[in-house]
Amino acid sequence: MKDIQNERDTRNIPINKVGVKHLKYPITILDKENTEQHTVASVNMYVDLPHHFKGTHMSRFIEILNAYRGMISYKAIRSILTEMKTRLDAESAHIELTFPYFIEKAAPITGAKALVDYRCTFSAAKNGHQLDFVLGVEVPITTLCPCSKAISLEGAHNQRGVVRVRVRFDKFIWIEDLVRRIERCGSTEVYALLKREDEKYVTEQAYANPVFVEDVVRNVTQQLAADENIRWFSVEAENFESIHNHNAYAEIISEHHPKKHTDTQKPPLR
């Protein structure tokens, strides 16, 4: 049949990214406690399009993803990007997978266990032989306002917040380990299941440890900057304020120059 996409375009305008977005797809990823975890990702896949091609073959993105869905890792992503470049005759390829990742947490006093979901992202691009990989996590926390505590005779306002972290690193890193570092940087952690004894402990812990969003991003920065394996990061903290008609926000981006991985370098994810 006639292949319209391969026909020549005469406008002489290359396209930076063309592909598919928001494709929901089941994937399997590495899990520190259970070896692997099944989840559902929202997937974006793109390649560049030279000026002389009219279009790209969208179906090939799905074919490539389907071949690797059994285990999504650094090695698989590197292979996916290489195959995207080859099959779609492109110089650069990009993939973004955003998915819920579940970690079992025990309540601080009773030990009651339940799953907490964390929004995670694998974002990778390959241009020539250079590969850039970024791991992103979103971690819920609780923050108690230092100002409110200081000026109030009784109590202080607190709220749930979220910390968004993106990192580039050299060696393997578990999502669980990164999440655990971030959770320590608020007033207290967020749990899926708390009994009354746990609620008392968590409430009192938050009151004893008030933090602004500025404190949160600085606390997280201290954690990440001390790790020689992490060579670039960005940190955002956002409080969903309980008594204000706005959110409080802060961001820090590290000054480390982001290096690129090549096919000959040791992969940061298995």
Provide the CATH number for the domain around residue 8.
3.10.270.10
Residue 186 CA to residue 206 CA, distance in Å, equals 8
- The band of 9, judged by pLDDT with boundaries at 50, 70 and 90, is low
| Residues 30-53: tens digit of each pLDDT | 999 999 999 999 999 999 987 667
Percent of the chain with pLDDT over 90: 79
Q: What letter does residue 129 receive in the DSSP assignment?
A: T
Least confidently predicted of 59-63, 105-109, 138-142, 255-259: 255-259
Q: Which string of b and e fits 22-49 if b means at least 16 CB within 10 Å?
A: eeeeebbbbbeeeeebebebebbbbbbb
Residue 268 belongs to a domain: no
More confident residue, 231 or 258: 231
Residue 156 belongs to a domain: yes
What is the per-residue pLDDT for 264? 44
Mean pLDDT computed over 161-183? 96
| Residues 127-152: tens digit of each pLDDT | 988 899 999 999 999 999 999 999 99
- The band of 267, judged by pLDDT with boundaries at 50, 70 and 90, is very low
Tokens linked to 131:
């590969």
Residue 267 belongs to a domain: no
What is the per-residue pLDDT for 8? 65
Q: Quote the distance between the C-alpha of residue 25 and its chain's center.
A: 17
Residue 270 belongs to a domain: no
Question: Is residue 98 scored above 90 in pLDDT?
Answer: yes
What is the per-residue pLDDT for 203? 96
Residue 153 belongs to a domain: yes
Mean pLDDT computed over 213-231? 97
What is the per-residue pLDDT for 1? 58
What is the per-residue pLDDT for 56? 77
What is the per-residue pLDDT for 128? 84
More confident residue, 258 or 205: 205
What is the per-residue pLDDT for 265? 45
Range of the domain at 253: 4-262
Residue 269 belongs to a domain: no
Residue 42 belongs to a domain: yes
The per-residue DSSP string of 175-235 comes to HHHHHHHHHTTSSEE--S---HHHHHHHHHHHHHS---HHHHHHHHHHHHHT-TTEEEEEE
What is the per-residue pLDDT for 269? 44
> Considering its fold, how many domains does the chain have in total?
1
